[in-house]
């Protein structure tokens, strides 16, 4: 099968493209910078119709991961990358007669800040989603699913809190802050959260490329299906990285207030570095969000192969091997 993967430079995109290559698919990747993957590569902006059109032509399926995942930056950049980028990909799929589009989304598109306990994927809600990333991703998912038709099967997949060796987003930031003592436990630390080990998320996306067609027009959350209290998850990640787990506690209300202040300062001053806390982050660290995986597993014919324990062990090995470099 010929498959285009957009956004293959990130941890998940790279792992997924590798998974497709390993099983013998003809893979093209599209991102700004060279990925180093042993496959055809198109470099450029995912919102550029000419670049995307070139990459999409002749494909059987498109797996669209490219997105701006940051927590800061101007609204316009999120819109360009997440909304315009997705529209460009959808249009290109239509023009090039590609039959399947797997749109990679995020559970945050349907998370309005309240506790989610064992829920299925709710509809994306741009008005209530929290933060620029989640809101633009919500718009993008609605656009993508709206394009679902007999000619183009569209499936939205939302991997939840992906982590693993080499992760600079979630694990990298947590470990860095814990190392410098800037990572408190927010609230009780008891909120149950689901996470996804990267190999499981990649396998789910590969499965989604195959399932897309018979399964279409819906959104599926992907996770390990092993929710744990947030303090425990962070503690285990820290332990794997060989840094002390956070002990200091900050009440949720205080963290939320500081997050609001920080967002204000960042907005006024136009700072670009990663802020210490945002309201979105405070909520994510203090409110339950875990998901009913039954529909996802049936629809994709997939199950996570790497359990949490095994994932933590692999992360530990990776840190042991790379410790001198970090």
Partner 1 sequence: MRAPDTRAGGAAGLPPALPGLDPAWSRLVAVADSSGAKHTWHVLDNGVRDPVGTLLCVHGNPTWSYLWRRLLAAAPPGWRVVAPDHLGMGFSDRPPGPRSLRQRIADLGDLTAALGVTGPVVTVGHDWGGVISLGWALAHRQDLRGVVLANTAVAMPEGDLGPALIRMANAPGVRAAVTVGTPVFVRATTALSRPALPADVRRAFAAPYRSPARRRSVGDFVADIPFSPGHPSRPVQEAVAEGIRTLDVPALLLWGPRDPVFGERYLADLRSRLPQARLHRYEGASHLLPEDAPRYAGAVAQWVTDLGTGTAEPPDRPAGDAARRLWSALDERSDDDAPAVVEVGGTTVSWSALARRVRDLAAGLAASGVRPGHRVALLVEPSADLTAAVYAVWRAGAVVVVADKGLGFAGMRRALRSASVDSVIGSRPGLAAARLMGLPGSRTAAGRASRAALRALGAAATLDELEARGRSAPVPAECPVDDDCAVLFTSGATGPAKGVVYTHRQAAAQLELVRATYGLTADDRLVAAFAPFAILGPALGIGSAVPDVDVTAPGSLTAAALADAAAAVDATVVFASPAALRRVGATAGDLSSGQRGALAGVRLLMSAGAPVPASLLRSLQEVLPAADAHTPYGMTEVLPVTDVSLAGIEAAGEGEGVCVGAPLPGVTVRVSPLSPEGTADGPLTDRPGVVGEVCVRAAHVKDRYDALWALERSASRDPGFHRTGDVGHLDPDGRLWIEGRLQHVVPTASGPVTPVGVEQRVERVDGVTAAAAVGVGPPGAQVVVLVVVPSEGSPGRRRRRLGLAGPDLAEAVRAAAGVDVAAVLTASALPVDIRHQSKVDRGEVASRAARVLAGARAPRP
Closest to partner 1 by CB, 2 or 297: 297
Q: Is 319 one of the catalytic residues?
A: no
Owner of token pair 């718009």: 139
DSSP class of 95: H
Question: Per CB under 8 A, which of residues 285..324 are in contact with partner 1?
Answer: 286-288, 290, 292-294, 297
Q: How far apart are CA 280 and CA 108, in angstroms?
A: 10
List 78, 133, 197, 256, catalytic entry = 133
42 close to 28: Cβ distance less than 8 angstroms:
yes
Choose one: 2-10, 58-66, 93-101, 227-235; the region binding partner 1 (CB under 8 A): 227-235
Q: Does 161 bind partner 1 (CB under 8 A)?
A: no
Q: Does 165 bind partner 1 (CB under 8 A)?
A: no
| First-to-last C-alpha distance (Å) of the chain | 38
Closest to partner 1 by CB, 85 or 227: 227
Choose one: 12-20, 57-65, 86-94, 225-233; the region binding partner 1 (CB under 8 A): 225-233
Choose one: 154-162, 164-172, 223-231, 316-324; the region binding partner 1 (CB under 8 A): 223-231
**Residues 125-154, buried b or exposed e (16+ Cβ, 10 A)?**
bbeebbbbbbbbbbbbbbbbbebbeeebbb
Closest to partner 1 by CB, 51 or 129: 129
4 close to 44: Cβ distance less than 8 angstroms:
no
Closest to partner 1 by CB, 84 or 283: 283
If we measure between CA atoms, which residue out of 73, 72, 59 comes closest to residue 30?
Answer: 59
Question: Per CB under 8 A, which of residues 93..152 are in contact with partner 1?
Answer: 112-115, 117-119, 128, 130
If we measure between CA atoms, which residue out of 175, 179, 201, 124 comes closest to residue 318?
Answer: 175
Choose one: 38-46, 173-181, 187-195, 315-323; the region binding partner 1 (CB under 8 A): 187-195
Q: Does 191 bind partner 1 (CB under 8 A)?
A: yes
Q: How far apart are CA 181 and CA 312, in angstroms?
A: 21
Q: Does 46 bind partner 1 (CB under 8 A)?
A: no
**Residues 79-106, buried b or exposed e (16+ Cβ, 10 A)?**
bbbbbbbbbbbbebbeebebebbbbbbb
CB of 189 to partner 1, least distance (A): 6
116 to each of 33, 151, 220, 249, how far by Cα in Å? 37, 35, 15, 23
Q: Does 86 bind partner 1 (CB under 8 A)?
A: no
| CA of residue 20 relative to chain centroid, distance | 18
Closest to partner 1 by CB, 34 or 242: 242
Give the interface with partner 1 as residue ranges (CB under 8 A).
Answer: 112-115, 117-119, 128, 130, 186-192, 225-232, 235, 245, 252-253, 256, 283, 286-288, 290, 292-294, 297
């Amino acid at each position: 099968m010929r498959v285009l993967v957009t956004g293959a430079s990130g941890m998940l995109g790279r792992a997924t493209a590798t998974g497709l290559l390993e099983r013998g698919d003809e893979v093209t990747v599209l991102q700004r910078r060279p990925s180093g993957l042993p496959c055809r590569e198109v470099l450029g902006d995912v919102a550029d119709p000419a670049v995307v059109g070139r990459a999409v032509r002749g494909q059987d399926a498109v797996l669209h991961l490219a997105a701006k995942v940051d927590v800061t930056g101007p609204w316009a950049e999120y819109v360009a990358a997440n909304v315009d980028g997705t529209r460009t990909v959808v249009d290109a799929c239509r023009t090039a007669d590609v039959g399947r589009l797997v749109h990679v989304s995020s559970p945050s598109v349907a998370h309005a800040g309240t506790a989610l306990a064992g829920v299925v994927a709710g509809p994306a809600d741009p008005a209530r989603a929290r933060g620029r990333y989640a809101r633009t991703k919500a718009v993008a998912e609605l656009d993508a699913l709206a394009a679902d038709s007999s000619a183009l099967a569209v499936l939205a997949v939302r991997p939840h809190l992906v982590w693993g060796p080499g992760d600079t987003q979630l694990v990298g930031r947590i470990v860095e802050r814990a190392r410098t003592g800037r990572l408190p436990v927010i609230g009780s630390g008891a909120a149950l959260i689901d996470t996804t080990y990267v190999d499981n998320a990649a396998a789910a996306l590969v499965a989604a490329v195959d399932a897309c067609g018979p399964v279409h027009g819906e959104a599926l959350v992907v996770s390990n299906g092993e929710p744990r209290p947030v303090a425990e998850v962070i503690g285990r990640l820290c332990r794997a990285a060989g840094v002390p787990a956070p002990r200091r506690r900050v009440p949720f209300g205080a963290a939320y207030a500081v997050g609001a202040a920080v967002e204000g300062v960042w907005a006024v001053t136009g700072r670009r570095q990663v802020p210490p806390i945002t309201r979105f982050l405070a909520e994510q660290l203090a409110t339950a969000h875990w998901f009913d995986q039954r529909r996802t597993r049936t629809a994709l014919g997939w199950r996570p192969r790497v359990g949490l324990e095994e994932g933590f062990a692999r992360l530990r090995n990776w840190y042991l091997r790379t410790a001198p470099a970090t």
